[in-house]
Amino acid sequence: MSEQFLQYVWFSKLFSAEQQTTDFQRVEIIDVGQKNTDAGPDVFNAKIKIGDTLWAGNVEFHTCADDWQQHRHHNDKAYDSVILHVVLKAGKNAVRTNGTLVPQMVLKYFKKAEKMFEKMNLPFIECVRCHCGLDPQSPENKGLESQTIAGQARNDGFFSRKNDIEKSLELLVNERLEQKSAAIENLLSQTQNDWEEAFYITTARSFGFGTNAAPFEQTARNLPQKIITKHKDNILQIEAMLFGTAGFLENFEQNDDYSKKILTEYQYFKHKFELKNIDKSMWKFLRLRPTNFPTIRIAQFAVLIHNSSKLFSKIIEQKNYKNLLELFACEPSEYWQNHYFFGKVSEQRSKKLSKSSVDIVLINSVIPFLYCYAKKYENEEMKNFAFSLLKKIPSEKNHITLGFENLGIKAQSAFDSQALTQLKNLYCSRKDCYNCSNKFNLQKIS
C-alpha cells in the first residue's frame, strides 16, 4: 500500500473511529482538511483532537514512519506546522526542526478500502461516486457530446430537465455563498464588526491564490489595516511593513539601495507598532510561475493599499464589473518591475495583476462580502449585483471544472464553476449522495 492509498482512505473517511497515537493518546479526526498539491505537508487546515487538546494544522502521510527522516522533514521548517504524522507502519519518531515530537498515528482503516482503491481508475471519478449520470464512458452515455450547463437542453442520461439544472445550480451557489458569509460573520466578530478590517484580511488571503493563502492572511492579521493605512501615501513604507511582517526581512542581505531602505523602514515600524513577523518558511515558491511568486503578490497588494483608502466602502459603491476590474488591476512599484527577489535583477516586464487573477479575487473576496453585507442590511439590489458578477466572470479553470468537463458538464461562468465546486467538495468528495439527490435533483435518470 502506498501514500496515495493513505490519502484515499483519509479523504474518503474509510478509517475507523477508534484511532490512537503511537504513545497511546486517543485521536479524533474532526475535519480531514484539504489536499495540498504543492510543496509542503500533504494536508492543510485539518482539525484533530489528540487526547484532550484540539489542534488545527497540517497532516503528513508516509507509508513507513522512518520516511519522515528519510525525506529530511526534521530539517525543514515547512513541516513544523504538522500536527499529526499518519503512517501505515510504525517506526522512528517524527521530530520538528526544534526537536519537539510530532504526534504519530498508524491509521486503522476498513479492509474494504483496499478493494475499493484497486477499482479506482480515474482520479476525478473516485470523488464523483454516483457520477450524477455524467460518466461519458458508461453504456447509456457513450457517444453523447459534452453539453454546457446553462445552454442546450440535456440529452437523456444526463441531468433531468433544463429547469431542474438551473435551479440546482442556483441552490448550490446560494449554499456556497451562505458558507462564505458565515465565515465572514465570524471574522467580523473577531474584528469588532469592522467591515474594512475584515475585508482587508479576506482580500489579503485571496492574494495568496490558494497556495499562499494562509501566510498572506496571517501577515494581514499581524499587520492591522489601521496601522498600514496611516502610511498609505508612502509606497515604500507600505512595502516595508508588509514584507517585514511576512518574514522576508529576517536575516536579510542588503544587496541594493532599495533593500537597505526597506529594512531601515521596517525596523522603525516594528519597534513603533510592536509588529510580529511570521516565519518566511510558510511561503511557497515551488511550482509557481515567477509572476505568481509571493514577493510579487505582496508588491501588488501594497499598491492596492496605496491606491485605495477604505477599500470596502469603495467596493459597495461600485455598480459594474468593469470598475471593479480597474480598481484591482495593481501594477507593482518600479523596483519589482525587474525583480522577483530582493537584490536579484531580472528582465524588465509588466507585473500588473492579470484580469484572470482579479476575477479570482472578486470570486473569493469581493462577491462573498457583497452577499454578506446585502444579507445583513437586506439590500436586495446588492445581492443581485453579487450574483450578476458571478455570471459575468468567466468560469474558473481548475481540476474540478476540468473533471466535470470530462464527464460532460462544461461551466461557462463563475456562477457555474462555483456551483460545481460546491457540488464536488461538499457532496461528491464526502460521498453524501443521499443529501445531494434530495436537495438538488442531481440523480441519474433511469
Q: Say which DSSP state 365 is in.
A: I
**E strand or H helix at 289, and its extent?**
none
Three-state SS annotation for 314-344: HHHHCCCHHHHHHHHCCCCCHHHHCEEECCE
Q: Are residues 222 and 371 in the same domain?
A: yes
Q: Are residues 246 and 196 in the same domain?
A: yes
Give dist(CA 10, CA 33) in Å, integer: 10
Give dist(CA 334, CA 316) in Å, integer: 30
Per-residue pLDDT at 1: 62
Q: Are residues 225 and 266 in the same domain?
A: yes
Amino acid found at 28: E
Q: Say which DSSP state 60 is in.
A: E
Q: Are residues 305 and 432 in the same domain?
A: no
Q: Are residues 250 and 351 in the same domain?
A: yes
Asked if residue 334 is part of any domain, the answer here is yes
Give dist(CA 293, CA 295) in Å, integer: 5
Asked if residue 177 is part of any domain, the answer here is no
Domain final residue pick, 353, 371, 392: 392
Asked if residue 8 is part of any domain, the answer here is yes
Q: Are residues 233 and 382 in the same domain?
A: yes
Q: Are residues 104 and 139 in the same domain?
A: no
Asked if residue 415 is part of any domain, the answer here is yes
Q: Are residues 311 and 251 in the same domain?
A: yes
Number of separate domains in the chain: 3
Q: Are residues 237 and 348 in the same domain?
A: yes
Hey, what long-range contacts does 259-265 have (CB within 8 A, 24 or more apart)?
A: 259/342, 259/343, 261/236, 262/236, 265/236, 265/237, 265/240, 265/241
Asked if residue 186 is part of any domain, the answer here is no
Count of all residues that appear for the chain in the document: 446
Asked if residue 183 is part of any domain, the answer here is no
CA distances from 174 to 187, 277, 361, 380, 426 (A): 20, 37, 19, 14, 13
- Domain boundaries, position 47: 3-119
Per-residue pLDDT at 11: 86
Q: Are residues 113 and 245 in the same domain?
A: no
Asked if residue 125 is part of any domain, the answer here is no
Whether this prediction's pTM lies above 0.85 is answered by no
Which residues neighbour 412 within 8 Å (Cβ) at sequence distance 6 or greater? 148, 149, 150, 151, 394, 395
Cα atoms found within 13 Å of the Cα of residue 147, Cβ hemisphere only: 19
Q: Are residues 253 and 276 in the same domain?
A: yes
Helix locations, 159-318, DSSP H = 162-190, 195-206, 213-222, 225-228, 235-245, 257-273, 294-307, 311-317
Domain final residue pick, 119, 146, 181: 119
Q: Is residue 25 classed exposed, middle or buried when 0-12, 13-18 and 19+ CB atoms within 10 A define those classes?
A: middle
Give dist(CA 433, CA 435) in Å, integer: 6
Q: Are residues 234 and 328 in the same domain?
A: yes
Give dist(CA 373, CA 381) in Å, integer: 11
Asked if residue 373 is part of any domain, the answer here is yes
pLDDT in tens, the chain (446 residues): 678 888 888 988 889 999 999 999 999 999 998 888 777 889 988 899 999 998 988 999 999 999 999 999 999 988 998 999 999 999 999 999 999 999 999 999 988 888 777 765 445 555 565 555 444 444 444 443 444 444 333 333 334 444 556 778 889 999 999 999 999 999 999 999 999 999 999 999 999 998 899 999 999 999 999 999 999 999 999 999 999 999 999 888 888 999 999 999 999 999 999 999 999 988 999 888 999 999 999 999 999 999 987 899 999 988 899 999 999 999 999 999 999 999 999 999 889 999 999 999 999 999 999 999 999 999 999 999 999 999 999 999 988 898 888 777 889 999 999 999 998 888 887 766 667 766 765 544 33
